Chain A
């Protein structure tokens, strides 16, 4: 057995980097990052477009530049990293005993590492054709948008010449522009829902700038091609999201890119036995990003999928700081009073799911997504008896844009029963 680490961070992307830096800042000195790629930075390395860091650094950076800032910060610390290393299993320690992390790499072989705390920062992966069951033949030329992004931006392969994009998530929109600039013809972007899943600015600068049509309430109903994609049929869908016969459009193309959602990558989390949230596909977390297993924390896209890396960094710093506090002996009471956060009307999930009332500081960060597009609306926060605790006004809300509110700690401490967060589109009665 090797030395005992204070903290092992699983994943060297934006979440893992921020968590490790923050834990170092808070005084931990035996920190290890395990990363399966051959370099740090994670998915940011292939996101060569700009728009990162506007919140955090007040300037517009590209993905590699944003990652570079954190990699530089990390270089000033004594945090160890092991690259090309795949974590296979986390065995939680019983009753405060060290956790075990099993990992494997070509260089070091099978490793069993012991640590007092773990930060899970594995990120997410893309939903594939199999996940959404697109009918039709099975030729080559169907990629997830992120896979195509890696081929094009890092490996130097052009993945196709005539492209159709299914889904209007941000990666799909970014790839529409990228493929167009590289000389491909992007025929259309097709979205099942009546609204886009991506940020408005990406619709403008990636589609409208290049006259690429966006078909809302449409989906792919057939793919033809023997070796390579040759033809794709797109149909309009009704309010029930079922294709409407007679509305078919046929596109001659050689490539289909899928941007149809991201799934937090939680095999390790599940196997370790952490309580999961079916709404986020991530672990259930407390206000300090601790999972149901004491000493195991989670942050970034492995908890819930974010739109902006700036928020990932901020959330991960909270996880890193909490992991440091845990190692330094500031552990949560076993019988702490729990306040559940519930999603009411119009809200699909909340992170954190539970707040330990006695642990909260002045403010609690709460992130959530809405499940429909609204105009001006109030975010209503109510206690178990339906009394309004506080409210927040928004000019518009959309599922593609994560919402963030700060709940005053005193409010949470005094709340009777679970707190419900809901959208109220009415005349503003709830907002105060």
Chain B
């Protein structure tokens, strides 16, 4: 008998799963909890949410998610695949970014739309901006003055 906390919804039911008895689940308040309890012991899966680089848009990162849960053990591999991707604006909500991610059958899809815009116009990867003062690692992910680019131009004071 294994005790689990269900993560399907914020209710957080305390589940008991009986591995020796056909993975019978008790303590759940809905069928999805029973399914979660069974899967969690046989083949735990998670929906992955992360971001990918986007160029030529009003933002520099695009939120993405897998459209179905993928095996929990593949999360880090999936992150590598997502971090290798760079898409170009405009992006439509729900647009497929990576089809059949790592052969899992799940697609990585866009969580929102991103219009073409002026803030991040360059379509070439940003240059390395030296090493981080605190980790010593090359700063590949840094974008040039992304804060400043958002700032509206100064205007004259109203009289």
Q: Which residues of A contact B (CB under 8 A)?
A: 38-39, 45, 48-51, 54, 60, 62-65, 67-68, 84, 105-107, 109-110, 141, 152-158, 160-161, 178, 181-183, 199-201, 203-205, 209, 227-228, 254, 307-308, 401
A156 touches B146 (CB 8 A): yes
Shortest distance from the beta carbon of B108 to any chain A beta carbon, whole Å: 12
A301 to B9 alpha-carbon distance, docked (Å): 21
Which residues in B have their C-beta under 8 angstroms from that of A182?
50, 79
Q: Which of A65, A203, A228, A308 contacts B134 (CB 8 A)?
A: A228
A68 to B111 alpha-carbon distance, docked (Å): 9
A415 to B97 alpha-carbon distance, docked (Å): 58
Q: Which of A50, A106, A161, A181 contacts B155 (CB 8 A)?
A: A106
A45 to B62 alpha-carbon distance, docked (Å): 10
With known contacts A62-B111, A106-B152, A201-B6, A254–B61 Cβ distance under 8 A? no
A65 touches B111 (CB 8 A): yes
A160 to B113 alpha-carbon distance, docked (Å): 28
Number of A-B contacts (CB under 8 A): 111
B61 touches A153 (CB 8 A): yes
Which residues in A have their C-beta under 8 angstroms from that of B9?
54, 201
Chain B: CB-nearest residue to A37: B150
Q: Which residues of B contact A (CB under 8 A)?
A: 4-10, 12, 46-51, 53, 58-61, 63, 65, 72, 75-76, 79, 93, 111-113, 133-135, 137, 141-143, 146-147, 150, 152-155, 157-158
Which residues in A have their C-beta under 8 angstroms from that of B47?
50, 60
B51 touches A109 (CB 8 A): no
Which residues in B have their C-beta under 8 angstroms from that of A158?
141
A181 touches B135 (CB 8 A): no
With known contacts A155-B60, A161-B135, A228-B134, A62–B75 Cβ distance under 8 A? no
A178 to B65 alpha-carbon distance, docked (Å): 13
Chain A: CB-nearest residue to B153: A106
Listed by A's residue number, 21 A-B pairs whose Cβ atoms lie within 8 Å are A39-B58, A45-B112, A48-B111, A50-B47, A50-B49, A54-B9, A65-B93, A106-B152, A106-B155, A153-B51, A154-B59, A155-B147, A156-B61, A161-B134, A161-B137, A181-B75, A201-B6, A209-B72, A228-B134, A254-B135, A308-B10
A157 touches B142 (CB 8 A): yes
Which residues in B have their C-beta under 8 angstroms from that of A67?
112
With known contacts A48-B111, A156-B53, A84–B93 Cβ distance under 8 A? no
A253 to B157 alpha-carbon distance, docked (Å): 46
Which residues in A have their C-beta under 8 angstroms from that of B72?
209
With known contacts A51-B10, A157-B142, A254-B134, A65–B112 Cβ distance under 8 A? yes
Which residues in A have their C-beta under 8 angstroms from that of B133?
227-228
Which residues in A have their C-beta under 8 angstroms from that of B154?
106
Shortest distance from the beta carbon of B25 to any chain A beta carbon, whole Å: 16
A266 to B48 alpha-carbon distance, docked (Å): 35
B10 touches A54 (CB 8 A): yes
Chain A: CB-nearest residue to B151: A106
B61 touches A141 (CB 8 A): no
A277 to B154 alpha-carbon distance, docked (Å): 39
With known contacts A156-B141, A201-B9, A181–B50 Cβ distance under 8 A? yes
Q: Which of A154, A205, A308 contacts B7 (CB 8 A)?
A: A205
Which residues in B have their C-beta under 8 angstroms from that of A154?
59, 61
A50 to B64 alpha-carbon distance, docked (Å): 10
Shortest distance from the beta carbon of A384 to any chain B beta carbon, whole Å: 34
Which residues in A have their C-beta under 8 angstroms from that of B49?
48-50, 62
B152 touches A156 (CB 8 A): no
B158 touches A110 (CB 8 A): yes
A38 to B56 alpha-carbon distance, docked (Å): 17
Chain A: CB-nearest residue to B93: A68
A423 to B79 alpha-carbon distance, docked (Å): 45
B10 touches A201 (CB 8 A): yes
With known contacts A65-B93, A68-B93, A155–B63 Cβ distance under 8 A? no
B158 touches A109 (CB 8 A): yes
Which residues in A have their C-beta under 8 angstroms from that of B10?
51, 54, 199, 201, 307-308, 401
A155 touches B65 (CB 8 A): no
Q: Which of A152, A181, A201, A204 contacts B76 (CB 8 A)?
A: A181
With known contacts A49-B49, A156-B143, A181-B75, A64–B63 Cβ distance under 8 A? yes
Shortest distance from the beta carbon of A203 to any chain B beta carbon, whole Å: 8
Which residues in A have their C-beta under 8 angstroms from that of B93?
65, 68
B112 touches A64 (CB 8 A): yes
Shortest distance from the beta carbon of B6 to any chain A beta carbon, whole Å: 7
Chain B: CB-nearest residue to A182: B79
A201 to B46 alpha-carbon distance, docked (Å): 13
Shortest distance from the beta carbon of B146 to any chain A beta carbon, whole Å: 5
Q: Which of B46, B61, B134 contacts A205 (CB 8 A)?
A: B46
A158 to B137 alpha-carbon distance, docked (Å): 11
A64 to B51 alpha-carbon distance, docked (Å): 12
Shortest distance from the beta carbon of A26 to any chain B beta carbon, whole Å: 28
Q: Which of A51, A107, A200, A227 contacts B5 (CB 8 A)?
A: A200
The 7 closest A-B pairs by CB, nearest first: A106-B152, A200-B12, A48-B63, A64-B112, A109-B158, A201-B7, A228-B134
A153 to B5 alpha-carbon distance, docked (Å): 28
Which residues in A have their C-beta under 8 angstroms from that of B7?
201, 204-205
B142 touches A68 (CB 8 A): no
- Extra pairs beyond A38-B58, A156-B53, A157-B142 (13, CB < 8 Å): A38-B150, A48-B49, A62-B63, A65-B112, A106-B152, A141-B134, A153-B63, A154-B61, A156-B146, A182-B79, A201-B5, A201-B10, A205-B46
